[in-house]
A and B are shown apart, each in its own frame.
Chain A
Amino acid sequence: MTEQLLLYPLLFQLLLAILLMFFWKKIDAQKVISIVGGFVAVFLSGLLFYEVWTSGTQTVQAASWKAPFGITFVADTLAATLVLLTAIAGLAVSFFSSASVIPARLRFGYFPIYHFLLLGLTGAFLTGDIFNLYVWFEIIIISSFVLITLGGEKAQIEGAVKYFTLNILASIIFLTAIAVLYGLAGSLNMADLSVLVPKLENRGLVEVAAILFLVGFGIKSAVFPLYFWLPASYHTPPSAVSAIFGGLLTKVGVYALIRIFSLVFTNDVFLGQVLLVIAILTLFSGGVGALVQKNIKKIFSYLIICHIGFMIGGLAMFTKVALVGTVFYLIHDIVLKTNLFMISGLIYRIKGTSNVKLLGDLYDKYPKLSLLMFIPFLSLIGIPPFSGFWPKISLITATLNTNNYVLLALIIVASLLTLIVIAKLWSEVFWKKGKELQPRLHFLYFKKMTRAKKVQFVLPIVMLAGVTLYIGFGAEHIQQVSERIASELINKQQYIDAVMPQTE
């Protein structure tokens, strides 16, 4: 019973998606199922996390085929943590979707597809097989294609074309990388590969495979030269969709990078250098990009890119302290970016526009809501004791230990750029005297909503702000989790032993 525990979060999302399809026309029933299901998913993922935390890495061999031959599902601490965060962000966005997405969109199967997306994310975190990872990625992208185009507005379709093209290209490159790696090592199991790959003679081709993986996952996680699809598409769908995309879709790319480069291609100086350069340029270009944007959602899109740089930087250094920073930042970032896009949706509902130039006096009209939004903003900049501050300590310590002074400088510059962007946003959107806008017809303004709906709108933001506060003020707990994950990533032997117990 309990040894299958790690499949429960996965199967539950699948069950939920199928169940929701039976209520295709009944939107209200779908909302209830999605939210209640969200709570159950958090509970199941929490259970899995507890199990992994107390008794170590869990594995399930699909159909009991022993490790290198069958498909393995592995939940080490990193995977379990991310599954839990997926469930938490998923619950918040379920809530937010039920209030913010218009019924016309919900009627075309928004919720079933949304839960298929969560299924794909959970699967990608839990699988221990590289081809299976590809399949989960495909589930993620095909459901995200539907979510991004649902509604069929002009901007959405244009954004979707760019999103679609580059994500498919990324998948094909990923598939090519798998082909090369399989041709070299003859295995698809990640634990098995991590034993086989260091022994291979043909180092040149191993390097080629590594770079192909880097490009494939790099497109998905939106790192420096490959990020252009992200700001072109993330602001087009409804904010609830942007929230789950911004919070989790790029992070699953980062997760894959961490997994592949900590398990399969390790101790590679050249790759470390490449990752370092990528991190530096990502930090810079994301930050500068955010400075010049006028659309709130686009500003947040560029901030996603900028902050991916922190995680890649930590991965590039690959010391324990650096990985602690990377993992901590990943945990903090998932919650925060989800929340930011929900906030942008709230601002849009209040004012009817996302253009910073037209917005204003939010603080005057909604002081309590503004203060609520202030919490994620402070965490984003990383003002102590809020959550963005703690991982940066680890990252900066790691740059000093490894003498990467350029990265150190860029981490500080990127933090400063984030501060400037948020300060500008705050003064423009919250403090500035706003223009009187022409009221839009057929637009449900926040103030015209019923009280219950208002609560439904604000509650997920409060919830995630609470989680952010916990990450900030309970940093010790998160630090412990991150340290354990980092030591697991460095000592990959325990992962291999968990998957293939018979090897010495």
Chain B
Amino acid sequence: MEFLLAIITGLLYAAGLYMMLRRSLVKLIIGLIIISNGANLLIFLLGRITKGHPPIIPEDSKIFTEIYADPVPQALILTAIVISFGLQSFAIILIKRAYQVVKTDDLDEMNTIDEDIK
């Protein structure tokens, strides 16, 4: 399981970076989304995966008696997902607006601000 997740995380990072290096705006945003999913999986993976042991103390005991899954990484991922959802929706509006204003999807042509100003 860990091995599989590690490979998937690596793939997501690689695919995300590849997409970000493309010139198209849409691919750039897709790349960002993929890479942030990779980061979420990485938190999940590095927080140690424990199957079938919810972090609930048994009724007849005051402390954990056996191994349990760490709930913190899941809380972190949830927070990160919510935040990145907000950012992604902003990003999508931004590229739509950018396309309307600049009339191109090509990042190399978005260079008018580097030219001399009036």
Report which A residues bind B (CB closer than 8 A): 131, 134-135, 138, 141-142, 145-146, 149, 152-155, 157-161, 164-165, 168-169, 171-172, 175-176, 178-180, 182-183, 186, 188, 232, 235-236, 294-295, 353-355
A152 touches B42 (CB 8 A): no
Give the complex CA separation of A161 and B98 in angstroms.
8
Known A-B contacts A131-B76, A169-B20; the reply to A182 vs B95 at CB < 8 A is no
11 contacts between A and B (CB under 8 A): A131-B76, A145-B90, A152-B101, A154-B102, A158-B113, A164-B94, A165-B32, A169-B32, A169-B35, A180-B46, A354-B117
B98 touches A157 (CB 8 A): yes
A355 touches B72 (CB 8 A): no
**Is B112 an interface residue when CB atoms closer than 8 A count as contact?**
yes
A contact residues around B60 at 8 Å (CB): none
Interfacial residues of chain B within 13-39, with CB under 8 A of chain A in the complex: 20, 25, 28, 32, 35-36, 39
B43 touches A165 (CB 8 A): no
B35 touches A182 (CB 8 A): no
B contact residues around A158 at 8 Å (CB): 98, 102, 110-113
A contact residues around B51 at 8 Å (CB): none
Give the complex CA separation of A131 and B117 in angstroms.
41
A155 touches B43 (CB 8 A): no
A157 touches B46 (CB 8 A): no
Q: Which of the residues B20, B79, B117, B118 comes within 8 Å of A135, measured between beta carbons?
A: B79
A165 touches B28 (CB 8 A): yes
A contact residues around B48 at 8 Å (CB): 183
B interface SS class: helix
A182 touches B113 (CB 8 A): no
Interfacial residues of chain B within 71-105, with CB under 8 A of chain A in the complex: 72-73, 76, 79-80, 83, 86-87, 90-91, 94-95, 97-98, 101-102
Give the complex CA separation of A294 and B25 in angstroms.
29
Q: How far is the CB of A326 from chain B (nearest CB, A)?
A: 30
**Is B116 an interface residue when CB atoms closer than 8 A count as contact?**
yes
A contact residues around B95 at 8 Å (CB): 161
Counting chain B CB atoms within 10 Å of each CB, the highest count among A141, A152, A165, A172 belongs to A172
Give the complex CA separation of A180 and B9 in angstroms.
13
B94 touches A149 (CB 8 A): yes
A161 touches B107 (CB 8 A): yes
Give the complex CA separation of A161 and B114 in angstroms.
14
Give the complex CA separation of A52 and B42 in angstroms.
38
A142 touches B87 (CB 8 A): yes
Report which B residues bind A (CB closer than 8 A): 20, 25, 28, 32, 35-36, 39, 42-43, 45-48, 70, 72-73, 76, 79-80, 83, 86-87, 90-91, 94-95, 97-98, 101-102, 107, 110-114, 116-118
The closest CB in chain B to the CB of A180 belongs to B46
A232 touches B117 (CB 8 A): no
Q: How far is the CB of A204 from chain B (nearest CB, A)?
A: 15
Q: How far is the CB of B72 from chain A (nearest CB, A)?
A: 7
B79 touches A172 (CB 8 A): no
B contact residues around A355 at 8 Å (CB): 116-118
A interface SS class: helix
Could you list 5 further interchain pairs (A-B, Cβ under 8 angstroms) beyond the known A157-B97, A158-B113?
A: A175-B36, A179-B42, A180-B42, A182-B43, A232-B114
A contact residues around B83 at 8 Å (CB): 135, 138
A contact residues around B25 at 8 Å (CB): 161
Give the complex CA separation of A157 and B47 in angstroms.
39
B contact residues around A159 at 8 Å (CB): 113
Give the complex CA separation of A160 and B20 in angstroms.
16
The closest CB in chain B to the CB of A69 belongs to B72
A179 touches B46 (CB 8 A): yes
A contact residues around B32 at 8 Å (CB): 165, 168-169, 172
Q: How far is the CB of B116 from chain A (nearest CB, A)?
A: 7
B43 touches A175 (CB 8 A): yes
A175 touches B20 (CB 8 A): no
Give the complex CA separation of A387 and B11 in angstroms.
50
B72 touches A138 (CB 8 A): no
Known A-B contacts A157-B94, A236-B113; the reply to A179 vs B101 at CB < 8 A is no
The closest CB in chain A to the CB of B46 belongs to A183
Give the complex CA separation of A354 and B113 in angstroms.
13
Give the complex CA separation of A178 and B118 in angstroms.
45
A contact residues around B107 at 8 Å (CB): 161
B contact residues around A235 at 8 Å (CB): 113
B46 touches A182 (CB 8 A): yes
Give the complex CA separation of A131 and B83 in angstroms.
12
B contact residues around A179 at 8 Å (CB): 39, 42-43, 46-47
B20 touches A165 (CB 8 A): yes
B contact residues around A145 at 8 Å (CB): 90, 94
A contact residues around B91 at 8 Å (CB): 164, 168
Q: How far is the CB of A203 from chain B (nearest CB, A)?
A: 17
Give the complex CA separation of A160 and B94 in angstroms.
8
B contact residues around A149 at 8 Å (CB): 94, 97
